[in-house]
Chains A and B, each alone.
Chain A
């Protein structure tokens, strides 16, 4: 019935309808193929990691096995968990990431609000500094920061009191200080994003609050913050995720803590050392086995993030799309 009407309509429109319909179908087919291919490419390493992590070692070298392991085992997880000091390192990662991203978000929100709403001398200069913060790779100042924090001092005050500058290198304080002053990982980007958002909020909202006698801070907390929650939370999420997987700051400032990302980056070497010390020097780990252990480690690292992402992806994507459009 329906097809008949379609052909009927088609005849009346002198073939235009058919042409349009076939074009639509062709486009959606090509689009589907392209998207399927790309999506598959993104997901496939994850799938192969999962299957690899469940295999026994002999399955790795069996060329008839592609994805489904023949001998399922959870032993790999046990080995990796033991070498990366799992419960401790994961908990450390968790509280450090939470603390750091919380500090960063407080600081960057305040700064972004200041940039979006207030006029003050040298504003352009300071904003250029924010851009510089995004552009300058932290590797450039790595060695200098290292030096700053091994001999930490505020204008010589600490030296006056204690007699010598503090060595803060293995404690968490340097990083907390940097986070509280917007110098953490990619903080320039957060400032930029949130400023973009705050600029889009109509100024009359605050003016109304001022007229009714609301103080500056109260206006900020009662009127601006609740509206900005999606952006703030997505920045918080970014901060958390990037901190969770970060290696640069971890390696430089958090050497005193067992953090998961740091453990993960050296898992194979340490396992090899351990084997060498217990079984004799000749013992080494096969290449395939090494790769398997790494993928188990990566999997352990990713799973919490993926779960988190599944719950929050909507706010994340939408709020980002929102901030960008107000260029």
Chain B
């Protein structure tokens, strides 16, 4: 069955002629088993097709249209105004550019840190030790606790910054803040500043990073569990140390999952509630301005940037990583 079916899967568009032959009665192919199975399969995914066309493709087109036009909510009227909304987003909106740059910077640091951290944690959790199950329970807790409203709610409170800055000044006065003290020490001793700035940013954001890496740990863990044990045994027999085995076996076997995780992390980061760009777009849409045109132009820009980053990361990783079939 499969050989015959594979014939028309060379390109996605080569399916169109087959679709006509298989779905339209009266054709020669209509009564073959393959066509029957194809029809059944299409019935199975029919909900998705309908949903995608009605609630994804069409809104996407509408929102593209909106982003290119002046939209008045009360009358529902759309007036074409070229690229004005996009121009406004970049040149007219006081906060948008700055926010985008901020978020992208934060995203880059977060993605790298999340990937490294979740990989390390997955490797550790994959080992056998006492209390492993308890550790797993705790590490996957963030999957639940950092979803939806929960992560941003405390930081979005207007008074949060006040309290945090109060706490920081208290810490600085009493000298409790270790990372700040270390930073001072390093900058005084003249070690390269820029690199350490990034590292200290990571350290300060480690809570957010751990909270955002639940799913990634699960993905890496599943990859680690799929590595057959005989590989390690063979390496051990040949006199390979654990360190070498890690870099020669564990890392290459798991690295294809880096792409999945990387994509997931970027999307997750870009769609979070505590993201200031999302907040800004919401404000433009529902706030005083009520400008849906600009809001959808901005969300398109934002989505475009996310896509570009996913593409770049995927390209880099797939260059670096070997795929084992």
Footprint of B on A, CB under 8 Å? 28, 31, 34-35, 38-39, 41-43, 45-46, 107, 110-111, 113-115, 117-126, 128-130, 132-145, 147-148, 150-151, 177-178, 180-183, 191, 216, 241-242, 244-248, 261, 264-265, 268, 286-288, 290-291, 294-295, 297-298, 301-302, 305-306, 309-310, 313, 316-317, 320-325, 327
> Is the Cβ of B60 less than 8 Å from the Cβ of A261?
no
By size class, the interface of chain B is 35 or more
Contacts A111-B45, A143-B295 given: A125-B15 contact, CB under 8 Å? yes
Q: Which residue of A lies closest to B42 (CB)?
A: A120
Q: Are the C-beta atoms of B145 and A130 separated by less than 8 Å?
A: no
**CB of B115 closer than 8 Å to a CB of A:** no
Residues of chain A with a CB closer than 8 A to B307's CB = 135
* Chain B residues positioned under 8 Å from A264 (CB to CB): 149, 153
**Cα of A295 to Cα of B145 in the assembled complex, Å:** 13
**A164, B147: Cα distance in complex, Å:** 38
Max chain A CB contacts within 10 Å: which of B66, B140, B147, B300?
A: B147
Closest to A325 in B: B226
Residues of A within 8 A of B225 (CB): 321, 325
| A118-B59 contact given A38-B139, A301-B150, CB 8 Å threshold | no
Question: B47 touches which one: A117, A182, A294 (CB < 8 A)?
Answer: A182
B222 lies within 8 A of A325 (CB): yes
8 pairs of residues in contact across A and B, judged by CB atoms under 8 Å: A41-B210, A42-B211, A111-B47, A139-B278, A143-B299, A181-B47, A268-B157, A294-B157
> In the docked arrangement, what's the CA distance between A53 and B164, Å?
19
Is A137 a contact partner of B55 (Cβ separation < 8 A)? no
Selected contact of A35 from candidates B76, B124, B149, B219, CB within 8 Å:
B124
Say yes or no: B163 contacts A288, CB within 8 Å: yes
Contacts of B162 in A (CB 8 A): 287
- CB proximity of A211 to chain B, nearest CB, Å: 13
Question: Are A137 and B306 in contact, CB atoms less than 8 angstroms apart?
Answer: yes
In Å, the complex CA distance between A123 and B45 comes to 10
Q: Given the known A-B contacts A122-B15, A181-B50, A324-B218, are A139 and B141 also in contact in the complex, defined by CB atoms under 8 Å? A: no
Known: A42-B210, A136-B303, A151-B76. A107 touches B47 (CB 8 A): yes
Report whether A115 and B206 are in contact in the complex, using a CB–CB cutoff of 8 Å. no
The reply to whether B51 and A178 form a contact with Cβ atoms under 8 Å apart is yes
Whether, in the assembled complex, B16 has its beta carbon less than 8 Å from a beta carbon of chain A, the answer is yes
* Residue in contact with B147 in the complex, picked from A129, A242, A325, CB distance below 8 Å: A242
**Are B2 and A143 in contact, with the CB atoms below 8 A?**
no
B48 touches A126 (CB 8 A): yes
Which secondary structure dominates chain B's binding surface? helix
Query: CA A242 – CA B214 in complex, angstroms?
Result: 14
Nearest CB on B from A230, distance (A): 14
Shortest Cβ distance from A83 into chain B, in angstroms? 15
CB within 8 Å for A323 and B56 given contacts A39-B139, A180-B47: no
Q: Which residues of A contact B13 (CB under 8 A)?
A: 125
Q: Which residues of B contact A248 (CB under 8 A)?
A: 148, 273
CB-based A-B contact count at 8 angstroms: 278
* Residue contact A322 to B222, C-beta cutoff 8 Å: yes
Q: Inside 8 A of A261's CB, which chain B residues have their CB?
A: 148-149
Q: Are A123 and B9 in contact (CB under 8 A)?
A: yes
In the complex, residue of chain A having the shortest beta-carbon distance to the beta carbon of B220: A324
CB neighbours (8 Å) of B158 from chain A are 290
A259 to chain B, nearest CB (A): 10
Q: A178-B55, A183-B55 are in contact. List 15 more A-B contacts (CB 8 A).
A: A34-B124, A115-B45, A121-B15, A124-B12, A125-B15, A126-B48, A126-B52, A141-B60, A143-B63, A216-B40, A248-B273, A291-B163, A301-B150, A302-B150, A325-B222
**A139 with B76: in contact, given A41-B206, A148-B59, A321-B221 (CB under 8 Å)?**
no
CB distance from A99 to the nearest CB of B (A): 16
User: B285 on the interface (CB 8 Å rule)?
Assistant: yes
The CA of A327 and the CA of B324, in the complex, are separated in Å by 11
- Whether A135 contacts B263 by the Cβ 8 Å rule is yes
What 4 A-B pairs come out closest when comparing CB atoms?
A118-B41, A181-B51, A114-B44, A245-B148
CB distance from A137 to the nearest CB of B (A): 5
Residues of chain B with a CB closer than 8 A to A183's CB = 51-52, 55-56
**Shortest beta-carbon distance from B277 to chain A in Å:** 9
Using Cβ atoms and an 8 Å threshold, which residues of chain B touch A288?
Answer: 159, 163
User: Nearest-CB distance from B64 to chain A (Å)?
Assistant: 9
Interface centre among A28, A180, A324 (most CB of B within 10 A): A324
CB pair B222–A114 under 8 Å, yes or no, is: no
CA distance A277 to B185 in the complex (A): 52
Instruction: Tell me if A133 and B56 are in contact (CB < 8 A).
Output: yes
Known: A140-B63, A242-B147. A122 touches B12 (CB 8 A): yes
Are A123 and B48 neighbours in the complex by a CB distance under 8 Å? no
A142 near B299 with CB under 8 A, answer yes
